[in-house]
A and B are shown apart, each in its own frame.
Chain A
Amino acid sequence: MIPTNPRIDWSRPDADVDTLIIPDGNVPHRHEKDWQMAWGDVMHSVVITKGVPDFSEGQVSFDEDGHLERGKTPTVMNPNDEFAAQAALQTKVRHGGRVSAMSMGPPGYQSVLQQAMEIYADELYLLSDREMAAADTWATAITLATGIKKLGAEVEAPDLVFAGFKTADGETGHTGPQTSLCLDWPLLTHVIALDVEEDAGRVRAKRLVEGDVEEVETVSVPLPAFIVLDPEFAPSYRIASHRLRLKDLREETTARAAEFEDHLTVWDHEDLNLDPDYIGLDGSPTIVESVDPIPKPPAERDATMVDPNDPDEMAAVLEECLAFVEG
């Protein structure tokens, strides 16, 4: 039997959400209206994820100047986001409910969400249109937070939002914490283990202090909460019935991921009721002036090409080596 979640006190007044504070200038974020989160009675986890160039060997492609060739490099789910999806899966195994995976990005990010579903997701949400393009971490956070609130208003209020630690391309580590700021939820970072205490309406987590594996602290915060998983996170399944349920869920989600379009919802800025001035390029306070490639280190030794089929060349090599053999 799946345990049900008792109603948790949703103490935050909705009014707060309307007057989010942007850290650099107290500019109010102007919504015409905000989303009223509807509290349901099942545990709802949201995984936020991003597509990154596949930096793995043999996939990534650079041009002559050392710039990444995005067109030739496939987009994959940010590797660290796998831990977020694993944490959501663990929550679903232990407490039932639902898992939504959400991303902001171009239509091609559908495949990124599909990858999240291959780990686990019940539904996928892609926030996507031209107005959202070229967003920095702040504009992205505003967009994602609004998506989460719309999800909460129209589907089920989230109890937990899970994010991975840093993306493999930007590596700022900003988006997760800024999204939690927009939601004004407690934020736990560098989480390596977690346990939801349903009756208490809290989540207890072990986290690395200063990202150091030598120092671990245990913290507890009320739900809803925003959790950034450390790459040291490992899901734990110590109960046989949990493992059986895990096996069921993995089978289901694998089948679902093969037909992920049936489970995908796409929202544009109008669906989200977002002012284009505050999202995408226009809403991004960050300006990237230029990108300098890291220069290649100078070679310390010269390489000489030797044709192994040429007896003269090989003889010369052997003669050179002989000196080392003889000491």
Chain B
Amino acid sequence: MTDEYEHYEAVVVGAGPGGAAAAATLAQNDVETLVLERGVEAGSKNVSGGLIYAEESAPYTIDGLFPDFREEASERPVTEYYLHNVAGEQVKPFDLTRLHEHDTAWCDAVLRRKMDAWLSDRVHEVTREAGGGVLEGVRANGLLRQDGEIVGVTCDEIDPITADVIIAADGVNSELARDAGLMDWAEPEEWFQGVKAVVDMPGDVIADRFDIDEDEGVAHLFSGDLFEGVRGGGFLYTNQDTLSIGTVFHLDSLVEEQAEPHELLDALLTHPILDQWFQGEYDELEYAAKLVPDSKKVAHPDPYRDRLLLVGDAAGQMQAQGPIIKGMNHAVSAGGLAAEAYVDASLRGDPSRAGQRYAAKLRNEGVMGKLRPRRYRVVRTLGEHRPVTRVIDGVLTSRIGKALVGNRAMERVIGRAYNSPYLASVAPDTRTPYVTLPAVLGEVLGEPVEIEAEHDPIEPPSLADRIGDLTYDTDIGNPHISLIDNSIEASGNAVTACPVSAEDFGAGCYREETVKTNGDEERLVSLDTQPCIECGTCAIVASTRWEHPRGGKGVEFKQG
């Protein structure tokens, strides 16, 4: 029976920004709130590209909830924002600062270990006062049900807990969302995969090479033909003493092109355009990866079931608005609204209506409208067809198209178009905006870039070195992923798509093996979870039984 279990009024799973916003809001309303975090410290399991926004129109912002956030937990503000269109070694930059500043109160680069650990300390202080607190190293592994209804969570490390409200802010690979049947891992086209390197660079060197003050920062985006035709792009953000450099690609495109994520990252790192900032020096601190849900397709319109409310990545609340990706800000809004919904519902004597109230608030506060813009649905039906894409790409790459793009008047139009939030939100998921158009722009309007003679080209670390530099606490004898179907057809895509695996690389998670039995030879996929960085890619592209490692086990990101 569930009576014998410990009861908290609220349980929040995950101490990222969504969980922190929910827990702090609950505790401020005197709700006894227990927060469960599976990492050894909050932030040790978290990765993001690195920008957190505070939107003017948002119901909650991170600094609204945690006043010292920008001074204590973030890196540099983004004061300049550029998009570089690359064609070979020709590059055409556009200034996107205007798009970046649309509806933006502020935007800072962040590193998640530092940020989430700081947030979690604040959350522990306020939740402890309300009778709960934050527990690290505890993994919620499923939902506790009574008579078919969700009443709590079960955990690896501690006994089950019942609660009046359960807020699942357990990230993109949320086990609670799947247990509730609210989210699945079925379709690669619903996801992006991001890969990132954190690169050491002293603050004064950053200021010098990027021509900024110590309280300024830059975002550079890269698209065009430098990624083997895979749909996606690259980014570079300035932190206080490091750079965050990464790539984000549509997962279906990665799979289709059989591209290796670490090689695409290296294609960006070694492109001559980065030489102006590296100047022949490259010291990588951490390699990381993460799945990014495409909210246009997967943000759950009613992210609740019984007493369970989903927040942030767990609910698919990650907005890819053209080149700009916004996730953490929506998680903060959703966390605040979920908490508010529960407090409202329980004040009115019916806490079981918290979920309905939460979904209504997401709609009424405009959050759902940003995550799933209605106009995108129209564009998608028109624009995301191969024949249409082929015609548009054909015209763009033709002489007429290039002449049109090369027209000086057209350059201004394109600059304006890039800066349009409306167009950004309706850009179709085709090759055109990611590859074709940027390559044409780079080719026709771009200036050549090259590595200066006195600089050696930089050499990014090998995948083996990248894995070797990561910190793991391996749960020996208890792998958290297993293959259901190890045939090449079912799971072979993981060998390339997994960011810590590669063809002809024996020390990664996935590899192809030849098994000989009675004179027969068979090609199979084999799995070793030791190097896993818990991104979840293989849960989508391969046939696996996928869980997070137990509390405190697995990879521990120091930067994030």
Contact = CB atoms under 8 A, between A and B. Distances in A.
Interface of A: 237-241, 243-244, 247-248
15 contacts: A237-B158, A238-B157, A238-B158, A239-B158, A240-B6, A240-B8, A240-B135, A240-B158, A240-B161, A241-B6, A243-B135, A243-B158, A244-B34, A244-B133, A247-B135
Contact of A238 (B8, B132, B133, B159): B159
Interface in B139-175: 157-159, 161
A241 to B, nearest CB: 6
Contacts of A240: 6, 8, 34, 135, 138, 158-159, 161
Interface in B36-78: none
Contacts of A244: 34, 128, 132-133, 135
Given A244-B133, A247-B133, A247-B135, A239 B128 contact: no
A240 B5 CA distance: 10
B133 A239 contact: no
A323 to B, nearest CB: 31
B62 to A, nearest CB: 24
Nearest to A242: B158
Size category of the binding interface on chain B: 10 to 19
Nearest to A241: B6
Interface string B395-419: 0000000000000000000000000
A237 B128 CA distance: 18
Q: Name which of A238, A239, A240, A243 has the most chain B CB atoms within 10 A of its CB.
A: A240
B159 A239 contact: yes
Nearest to B124: A247
A244 B133 CA distance: 6
Q: Name which of B124, B135, B159 has the most chain A CB atoms within 10 A of its CB.
A: B135
A248 B129 CA distance: 12
A240 B11 CA distance: 11
A271 B124 CA distance: 44
A240 B157 CA distance: 9
A247 B135 CA distance: 8
A276 B124 CA distance: 52
Interface of B: 6, 8, 34, 124, 128, 132-133, 135, 138, 157-159, 161
B128 A243 contact: no
B440 to A, nearest CB: 56
Nearest to B155: A240
Contacts of A247: 124, 133, 135
A86 B135 CA distance: 19
Contacts of B8: 240
A237 B34 CA distance: 16
Q: Name which of A239, A241, A247, A248 has the most chain B CB atoms within 10 A of its CB.
A: A241
Contacts of B6: 239-241
B22 to A, nearest CB: 17
Given A239-B158, A241-B6, A244-B34, 9 more contacts: A238-B157, A238-B158, A238-B159, A240-B8, A243-B135, A247-B124, A247-B133, A247-B135, A248-B128
Contacts of B135: 240, 243-244, 247
A241 B135 CA distance: 10
8 closest Cβ pairs, A-B complex: A244-B133, A243-B135, A238-B159, A238-B158, A240-B158, A240-B6, A240-B34, A240-B161
Nearest to A237: B158
Contacts of B132: 244
A243 B157 CA distance: 10
Contacts of A241: 6
A322 B135 CA distance: 60
Nearest to A244: B133
A239 B132 CA distance: 13
Contacts of B128: 244, 248
Contacts of A239: 6, 158-159
A94 B397 CA distance: 72
B159 A243 contact: no
A237 B137 CA distance: 12
Contacts of B138: 240, 243
A62 to B, nearest CB: 34
A194 B410 CA distance: 78
Nearest to A245: B133
B129 to A, nearest CB: 12
A248 B34 CA distance: 14
Contacts of B161: 240
Contacts of A237: 158
Contacts of A243: 135, 138, 158
A241 B159 CA distance: 11
Q: Name which of A237, A244, A247 has the most chain B CB atoms within 10 A of its CB.
A: A244
A38 B473 CA distance: 47
B8 to A, nearest CB: 7
Nearest to A243: B135
A237 to B, nearest CB: 7
Contacts of B34: 240, 244
Nearest to B127: A244
A164 B230 CA distance: 61
Contacts of A248: 128
A86 to B, nearest CB: 16
A243 to B, nearest CB: 5
A237 B136 CA distance: 13
A239 B133 CA distance: 13
Contacts of B158: 237-240, 243
B238 to A, nearest CB: 35
B34 to A, nearest CB: 6
B164 to A, nearest CB: 15
B132 to A, nearest CB: 7
B7 to A, nearest CB: 10
Nearest to B161: A240
A94 to B, nearest CB: 14
A239 to B, nearest CB: 6
Nearest to B137: A243
Nearest to A246: B135
Contacts of B157: 238
A237 B159 CA distance: 9
Contacts of B124: 247
A248 B157 CA distance: 18
B168 to A, nearest CB: 17
B347 to A, nearest CB: 26
A248 B6 CA distance: 19
Nearest to B8: A240
A247 B124 CA distance: 10
A247 B133 CA distance: 9
A238 B6 CA distance: 11
B9 to A, nearest CB: 13
Nearest to B159: A238
Q: Name which of B34, B124, B158, B159 has the most chain A CB atoms within 10 A of its CB.
A: B158
A239 B138 CA distance: 11
A243 B128 CA distance: 12
